[in-house]
Structure 1
Amino acid sequence: MKELGQCGPYTLRRWVAAGGMGEVFLSHGPTPRGPGPVAVKRLLPQAKDDPIFVQMFLDEGRLVKGLRHPNICAVYDLGEDHGQYYIAMEWADGVSLEQLITRARGRGGLPVEAVARIIADIANALDYAHRFRDEQDRFLAIVHRDVSPPNIMIGLRGRVKLLDFGLAKARSQLTKTQPGTVKGKFGYLAPEQLTGDVDARTDVFALGLCMYEAMTGEAFFNQETAAETVMNIRAYTSPPSAIPKRREVWPELDAVIKRALWPRRELRFQSAGEMRNAIEQALLDRRQRVDAKRLESVVRELFPEKKPLEDSVAPPPIAPTPIASAKDLDELEVMEELELITLPKTLKKNGLVIAVIAFGAVLLISAAALLLL
């Protein structure tokens, strides 16, 4: 395999994906288990000179490097090489929950018990992150803010991972969100995210939306435009039932979805751990033991063409994603007219408007690196 250069101690072997600010390479270098495959993410030249995005990139790396959980994609290293910042992350073969949902639509949907296990594992990861304290025992009040099907990965060996803390909010960050700025994918926003007032229950709401979509095959809020989606969220008054869309959904799991999706935070599960426990109880009551082997069989049945890294032929890289299209900018103007978001002038001036609402989407190159095999 032709090498593409060096980034710190990591040998870049294949360019995988690019976004508006960064690119990811399949690389080889040190890992906790010895030399092996690594995903290396680094800023693009047009972004690496912007101090705002450099700091956001560093915030993400420092934050996730401290997290150690089997259901969170691990960061091995945060470094700088000849003025180029990079994050070295765990490389895992698998597919996203979004890909699973899409592939399963014409095949009767995902198994209910498999969805329950995936969501319970992500709730477990979120509960850990929400409660996390650093080495000085400081509570960081982490909120992911971008829990969505593209950021949930199920490995070819059935391991479930939460990806991309590029939008995460924590007390340790040096960069602060501007008042009124919306961060996250519009279709997975909790009502309170429209004002920027978030806490751990915001992630619970987003996970409830993921669970609804995985059970029914349909996204709950998504409309054709961002403005229409946000207006749907503003008009939202009561949680949905998944059963009318799919009769196989267990009533006890439907109750989990509905409780997670209350517009008023005080009526939701008050922690991701509480949501996890409710799902685990439903699985226990139904005598359903769903482990990694069961999830592995689901992934392999839906994606028989997927092969582990050591057995696979490298796919062609995907084309870079532009910073913003004309349609994106038109929608942002509509959003400003609705007075739903505030865009920092410095970002507008630099032509990086889209990053305010979709920094996680731009940095989803980390997820793409893990999912493209």
Structure 2
Amino acid sequence: MPDAGFIEVEPRSLDDFRIIQRLSENHGISSSLAVMEGHFGLARRVLLKVTESSLHSGIGVALRLSDEARLCQALRHPNLLSAHELGRDGDRFFLVRQWVEGVGLRKLMRGVWDEGTFPVTAALHIGQEICSALAYLHTLSIQPWAPVGIVHLAVTPSNILVTPSGEVFLGNLFGARPIGKSAGADVDPEIAQARPHGSVPAYEAPEIATGTNVDGRADLFALAMLLYEAILGPTALAGNPGFDWRRHRHDGQILEQLEDADLPDDLKSILERTMSPRPEDRPSSAQELRDALWHISQSQYERRGQEELRMIARQHFEGTEIPEEDD
């Protein structure tokens, strides 16, 4: 439904948009903050994603953008950004998505670390909100493309947006795939090599490397790694989100740091369980993980998470950002 007071216009070309700021360029797609012009001078801000010329990027990028549009238009969840429409201008395709002002979690974590430690309460709140979004995606049926649900495959700090009011959004659905379909299926080789999770092995579940048995539990693994990093600080992943967690876990580094951390035992336990390299050892669903985080938040921290998150987000919010960049 259009925003109150806005008369929807069907853009027929990129001339219907006024670019305010170019934000990023990844995988043959540029992302910009733009104004979508309406009748009688009315307009609204949107996120505009545009492919390069098909001669340069190939049809694979356009197909992936089409998949993202199809998914985003079906979304009805407070922690996921929706889409307005998919269009074409000559040999370029464009996707118009909801715009939300906020700060990327990667930037927020770094800013807080410069001053001290990331509040456990805020991390727990983020975890619960992202679990809510994942529980929705993992059970969302879009016939015939994704009959049994969607796996996000890019749950990283840079793909999470926090607003100054403490709201949490999970973005970057470019790499999302139907559950039961391999991460690289029906994708141009160049795009598969550049898929969002491919550049952030610190958050990548081991089953993604083989492309087998990839379901929602891969997203839970990534979220647990993210929470582990946020709470323990910049040295948790050796200060490098591109490090190979497999070697460090084998050496016991992750479990040793978690064991030594001043955290409730039940929080250590759920993080260790969810970071297991074996999918069958992890929580069976995002709802199960959310329930565990909620219980810890309620019993140990009096549920102050959103208040803490709102406070630090306001301190570190500086203006236009977009959760669409690789870590």
Identify the TM-score tier after normalising by the shorter chain: 0.7 to 0.9
Q: Secondary structure at the match of 1:286?
A: helix
Label 1:193 to 1:159 Cα distance change in 2 as closer, same or farther (>3 A).
same
In the aligned structure 2, how far is the partner of 1:13 from the partner of 1:222?
37
In the aligned structure 2, how far is the partner of 1:21 from the partner of 1:264?
34
The 5-angstrom pairing of residues 6-155 of structure 1 reads 7=14, 9-29=16-36, 35-45=43-53, 49-134=57-142, 139-155=147-163
Moved more, 231-240 or 206-215: 231-240
Contact 2:51 2:57 in 1 (8 A): no
Label 1:213 to 1:30 Cα distance change in 2 as closer, same or farther (>3 A).
farther
What is the deviation of 1:81? 2.2
TM score, norm. by length of structure 1: 0.71
Q: Is 1:281 aligned to 2:295, yes or no? A: yes
Deviations 1:233-253 (A, max 9, x none): 794789726545642x33222
Where relative contact order (Cα < 8 A, 6+ residues apart) is larger, the structure is 1
Q: Look up the match of 1:211.
A: 227
Q: Look up the match of 2:280.
A: 266
Q: Look up the match of 2:4.
A: none
Q: Secondary structure at the match of 2:244?
A: helix
Identity score, percent: 25
What is the deviation of 1:131? 0.5
Q: Secondary structure at the match of 1:269?
A: coil
In the aligned structure 1, how far is the partner of 2:282 from the partner of 2:257?
17
The 5-angstrom pairing of residues 191-210 of structure 1 reads 191-197=206-212, 198-210=214-226
Amino acid at match of 2:17: Y
Label 1:222 to 1:56 Cα distance change in 2 as closer, same or farther (>3 A).
farther
The 5-angstrom pairing of residues 189-338 of structure 1 reads 189-197=204-212, 198-218=214-234, 229=244, 232=247, 235=250, 240=255, 243-244=258-259, 246-247=261-262, 249-286=263-300, 288-290=302-304, 292-301=306-315, 303=316, 306-307=318-319
Amino acid at match of 1:188: Y
Q: Look up the match of 2:202.
A: 187
Deviations 1:118-149 (A, max 9, x none): 01100110110000012679634311111111
What is the deviation of 1:12? 2.6
What is the deviation of 1:188? 1.0
What is the deviation of 1:45? 2.8
In the aligned structure 2, how far is the partner of 1:137 from the partner of 1:26?
29
Label 1:172 to 1:37 Cα distance change in 2 as closer, same or farther (>3 A).
farther
Instruction: List runs of 5+ in structure 2 lacking aligned partners.
Output: 1-12
Label 1:111 to 1:234 Cα distance change in 2 as closer, same or farther (>3 A).
closer
TM score, norm. by length of structure 2: 0.80
Q: Secondary structure at the match of 1:13?
A: strand
Amino acid at match of 1:299: A
In the aligned structure 1, how far is the partner of 2:271 from the partner of 2:125?
14
In the aligned structure 2, how far is the partner of 1:172 from the partner of 1:278?
26
Q: Secondary structure at the match of 1:300?
A: helix
The 5-angstrom pairing of residues 155-170 of structure 1 reads 155-170=163-178
Amino acid at match of 1:194: A
In the aligned structure 1, how far is the partner of 2:264 from the partner of 2:249?
29
In the aligned structure 2, how far is the partner of 1:37 from the partner of 1:19?
21
Deviations 1:267-300 (A, max 9, x none): 1111111100100011121352336444221212
Instruction: List runs of 5+ in structure 1 lacking aligned partners.
Output: 1-5, 310-314, 316-364, 369-373
Amino acid at match of 2:35: H
Contact 1:23 1:42 in 2 (8 A): yes
Alignment coverage as a number of residue pairs: 302
Q: Look up the match of 1:176.
A: 186
Contact 1:123 1:273 in 2 (8 A): yes
In the aligned structure 2, how far is the partner of 1:15 from the partner of 1:261?
36
Label 1:44 to 1:271 Cα distance change in 2 as closer, same or farther (>3 A).
same
Label 1:117 to 1:57 Cα distance change in 2 as closer, same or farther (>3 A).
same
Contact 1:41 1:366 in 2 (8 A): no
Label 1:217 to 1:230 Cα distance change in 2 as closer, same or farther (>3 A).
closer
Q: Is 1:367 aligned to 2:305, yes or no? A: no
